[in-house]
């Protein structure tokens, strides 16, 4: 990825007017070893359990981004170092969590993007509830399966199509 989210915003200003390009509310912090990541979204919606997240990350990532709508809960962590290692091994570009994560030091050693809204050392339940491949409403924008996610230290963009940097 040779662009920044700021460059993409500048180069594709007209897409904001059409709604094809959106910015998530600036609350996501970077925890993974890759500080920039992009790819088509795979979406899951869960609440305080991560069995479905583990199941999806154990599939071939294909440089996609797993977008997790965890309801914004910070009462426990949905992703940690073990899932970060699985994401690397299976070829995911990144994991974006609207919820908590843990194992900051371990995640920082994983060559994958991991962004979330906060930390909590408590693990979540191991249940397998939730939904996959659904539209999720995150602060600032909705994310539909296969839309493109662009994330770096400046923020997170959601695009209806793959963007080419015009820099």
**Which residues on adjacent β-strands are paired with residue 119?**
101
**Strand ranges in 11-162 using DSSP code E only, listed in sequence order:** 21-23, 29-30, 37-45, 65-69, 77-79, 94-101, 113-119, 131-132, 136-138, 141-143, 148-152, 155-159
In the chain, which ranges are continuous DSSP H helix?
Answer: 5-11, 13-18, 51-57, 81-89, 104-108
Residues at the annotated binding site for substrate? Answer: 80-83, 102
Measured CA to CA, the distance from residue 135 to residue 4 in angstroms comes to 25
Place of tokens 């920044």: 4
Q: How many CB atoms sit inside 10 A of residue 115's CB?
A: 26
Residues at the annotated binding site? Answer: 80-83, 102-103
Residues at the annotated binding site for Mg(2+)? Answer: 103
């Amino acid at each position: 990825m040779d662009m920044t989210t700021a460059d993409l915003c500048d180069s594709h200003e007209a897409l904001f007017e059409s709604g094809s390009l959106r910015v998530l509310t600036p609350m996501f912090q970077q925890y993974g070893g890759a500080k920039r990541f992009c790819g088509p979204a795979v979406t899951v919606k869960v609440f305080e359990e991560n069995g479905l997240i583990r199941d999806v990350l154990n599939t071939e990532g294909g440089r996609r981004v797993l977008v997790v709508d965890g309801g914004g809960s910070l009462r426990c962590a949905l992703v940690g170092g073990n899932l970060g290692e699985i994401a690397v091994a299976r070829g995911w570009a990144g994991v974006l969590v609207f919820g908590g994560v843990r194992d900051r030091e371990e995640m920082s050693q994983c060559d994958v993007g991991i962004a979330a809204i906060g930390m909590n050392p408590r693990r979540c339940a191991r249940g397998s509830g939730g939904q996959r491949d659904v539209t999720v409403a995150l602060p600032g924008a909705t994310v539909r399966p296969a839309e493109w996610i662009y994330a770096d230290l400046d923020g997170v963009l959601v695009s209806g199509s793959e963007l080419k940097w015009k820099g």
